[in-house]
Every structure is written in C-alpha cells, then in structure tokens.
Amino acid sequence: MLRLYGEELLKVIRDAKSLPPTEHPDCLVPPYRSKNKVLSKAVQQAIDEHAREIGIPASVLMRKKWLGQLYEVVALDKDVSELPQGLKGWRNDWVVKTLIPVIKKHKTELQQGMGIRVQ
C-alpha cells in the first residue's frame, strides 16, 4: 500500500496543510464508549422488544453503524432529517417515537461517552 499510494498520500497531506483552517473539514465525532452501560442496555432492550414484536432479528432492525449515527444526531441536537437513510424508511416511526426518547433520557451519559463537552 505504501509503495502504491505513498506519494499520493503525501501530496494530499501537503495540499491539506496549505489550506486555511476555515476550509478544513469538521472533526469526526468519536463513537460512544462508556463503562456505565445504562444507555446501551436501555437501547438494546428497546431494539430487542420491537424486533420481537415485528418478528425480525434485532440485527436486521438496527445496524451498529446506524446506531452510531443515531447517537450522533441525538448528542449533537441535529435534526431528525439527518438520520441515516436506513432509518428513514419503515423504521422511521419507531426510531422517532420510541428509540430517540430512550436515548434522550441518557443524553448526558451519551455525550460524556462520546467526549462531547456540554456547555
């Protein structure tokens, strides 16, 4: 990889360093990690219950990637229109009415677990 793309990577880095800070992309939000698993347990319980109700595996109802994106939407107070595409279809009503309120109950823990400073 280094031999194939090393020069190109160095060029991208040099070009990025020459950009003014106003043109830098936003920093990525770190994923949720916490030793206190109250939020994770509450969310998993909501996912498992709904999956049982509609008769599909929990892994089909909610993917780990979507959950991380959902955490970001809630933690940063983004609009629900910014939900991942997979949560906008048939899952949307359940996500908005059930899952987001569960996550919001633990918003402080979520933000701490993502390293977001609350002002």
Q: What is the pTM of this model?
A: 0.77
CA 49-116-85 angle, to 5 degrees, is 50
CB 110 within 8 A of CB 75: yes
Structural fold of domain 28-113: DNA polymerase; domain 1 (1.10.150)
pLDDT tens readout for residues 11-62: 989 998 899 988 887 778 888 887 778 999 999 999 999 999 999 999 999 9
* CA gap 65, 69 in Å, rounded: 6
pLDDT value, residue 119: 62
Q: Residue 64: pLDDT band by 50, 70, 90 thresholds? A: very high
Which residue from 77, 84, 78, 79 is spatially nearest to 62, judged by alpha carbons?
84
**Structural domain boundaries of the chain?**
28-113
DSSP class of 86: G
pLDDT value, residue 115: 87
pLDDT tens readout for residues 6-18: 999 999 899 988 9
Q: Residue 2: pLDDT band by 50, 70, 90 thresholds? A: confident
Average pLDDT over residues 61-78: 94
pLDDT value, residue 48: 98
